[in-house]
Amino acid sequence: MTMAEAIDAVVADLLHHPVAASPHGMFTVMRHIDLLCHLTARAVGDAHFGLACEHADPADQERVEPLGRAAAHLGRATAHYTLALAPVITLSKSDAPSTPNKQLDAIDALSQLTNQVHDALLALSDARTCLSTPLPPGGQAAPAAPPSVPAPPAAKPRH
């Protein structure tokens, strides 16, 4: 499996198993962080192989720069999922929001969770773009087209 295929597989898994605002949400976030950490470690390991292994062929050596840039975005995706832990903990508490302040806190936590997951998906899209977009001769990455990431779910209307 190529690194791009691995990113696609992780994105499919993240979308197939969304983080729920329940006690199970914590397990899902930890599982997603685990997947992202493994993906980041693989990108860094592949880049290291291209740099350090004297048996690496030229194709492996050419992939070092895109893998390094992709690893940075994968780390950013992991960070966003880590930042999603706090709102998941808030939302997974067993006591249902009964006061207006608790209801507002729950809405704020759900908004934070949605934003963090969306930003993580954007970072994964950026990582994927790094692997498929060659650097121009000057070494500066060309501005990428906006990624096609699903928009965060719309908030339910309050009545």
Higher pLDDT, 150 or 77: 77
Place of tokens 């390094």: 68
Mean pLDDT of the residues in the chain:
82
pLDDT in tens, 29-64: 999 999 999 999 999 988 888 777 666 667 666 778
119-129: per-residue pLDDT in tens?
999 999 999 99
Higher pLDDT, 15 or 47: 15
pLDDT of amino acid 154: 56
Quick one: which of 38, 120, 112 has its CA closest to 81? Answer: 120
Band the pLDDT of 139: cuts 50, 70, 90.
Answer: low
| Spatial CA neighbour of 123 closest among 18, 20, 14 | 14
Radius of gyration of the chain (CA): 19
pLDDT above 90: residue 96: no
Cβ pair 71, 40 in contact under 8 A: yes
Report how far residue 157's alpha carbon sits from residue 138's, in angstroms, rounded to the nearest whole number.
Answer: 50
